[in-house]
Amino acid sequence: MRILVIGATGTIGEAVVDALSPQHDIIAATTLNAGLEGFVGAAALDMPRGQHISAVSPPPVREAMEKMGWGKGGVPAADVAQLYVRSLTPEYNGAAIVIHQAVQSLTR
């Protein structure tokens, strides 16, 4: 899924694939995410003052996994939503927020 919010801030949602940790059989998703992360970093350099852009690479969401019968793994939807809210702040301008690193920072 791709989400782009036009206005003062923008967040691009990537697929549930870490571009820096490629895996077998997901070459296209890994390549796409690496491209999105590069775009976000470059676009941030040219954003007008007061505007920013970031990317969020969401994990599997726990509630969705349970509904699909895929077990009890994943990250709670509330934690994922909090990352999207954080991504809209200026401190994340140009950043690709990788979920496993970001969730750890939420609990500190």
Tens-digit pLDDT profile for residues 29-84: 778 878 888 888 999 998 888 888 888 887 788 898 899 898 888 888 898 888 88
Domain annotation covers residue 4: no
Contact residues for 15 (Cβ-Cβ < 8 A; gap 6+): 1, 29, 32, 33, 57
Domain annotation covers residue 86: yes
Domain annotation covers residue 3: no
Into how many domains does the chain fold? 1
For residue 78, the model assigns a pLDDT of 92
Domain annotation covers residue 19: yes
Domain annotation covers residue 24: yes
Bigger pLDDT: 16 or 92?
92
Domain annotation covers residue 94: yes
Give Cα separations from 27 to 14, 20, 42 (angstroms).
Answer: 14, 12, 23
Bigger pLDDT: 3 or 54?
54
Q: How would you classify residue 60: left for phi > 0, otherwise alpha for psi between -120 and 50, otherwise beta?
A: beta
Quote the pTM value.
Answer: 0.67
Name residue 37's amino acid. Answer: E
Domain annotation covers residue 30: yes
Q: Which domain holds residue 65?
A: 9-106
Q: In CATH, what number is assigned to the domain containing residue 83?
A: 3.40.50.720
6-24: pLDDT as tens digits: 455 565 665 555 666 666 7
